[in-house]
């Protein structure tokens, strides 16, 4: 049975899958499949809406990779503390 759920202006299909094999077969698209790029776009759009990451604009220079990693961790901690999903 195939149901549809409303997501924004689109309707997304809901499928009942009876096994893990059936689930794995239903999600993969071949590289030449014309549905591949719109599907990738939809997944990325959903990820952006659910967990948007905010980085300050600009170019940041660091003396070491550790310093750069610390800066990135600070931004991620800020996002986790002050961001809400789908804001």
How far apart CA 70 and CA 87 sit, in angstroms, is 26
Range of the domain at 70: 38-54+62-87
- Give me the chain's average pLDDT, please: 78
How far apart CA 37 and CA 56 sit, in angstroms, is 29
How far apart CA 53 and CA 8 sit, in angstroms, is 21
Please indicate, yes or no, whether the overall pTM of this predicted structure exceeds 0.75. no
Residue 27 falls inside a structural domain: no
The residues facing 15 across adjacent strands are 2
How far apart CA 39 and CA 12 sit, in angstroms, is 11
Q: 17-53: per-residue pLDDT in tens?
A: 888 888 777 777 888 889 889 989 998 888 888 877 7
Q: 5-20: per-residue pLDDT in tens?
A: 555 566 666 777 888 8
pLDDT of 1 higher than 80: no
Residue 67 falls inside a structural domain: yes
pLDDT > 90 fraction of the chain, expressed in percent and rounded = 18
Kindly report the CA angle at 61 between 58 and 67, in degrees rounded to 5? 120
Provide the number of structural domains found in the chain: 1
């Amino acid at each position: 049975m195939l149901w549809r759920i409303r997501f924004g202006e689109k309707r997304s299909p809901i499928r009942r899958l009876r096994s893990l094999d059936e689930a794995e077969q239903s999600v993969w698209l071949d590289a030449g499949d014309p549905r591949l790029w719109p599907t990738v776009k939809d997944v990325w759009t959903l990820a952006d809406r659910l967990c948007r990451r905010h980085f300050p604009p600009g170019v940041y220079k660091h003396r070491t990779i550790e310093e750069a990693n610390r800066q990135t961790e600070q931004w991620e901690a800020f996002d986790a503390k002050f961001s809400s999903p789908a804001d």
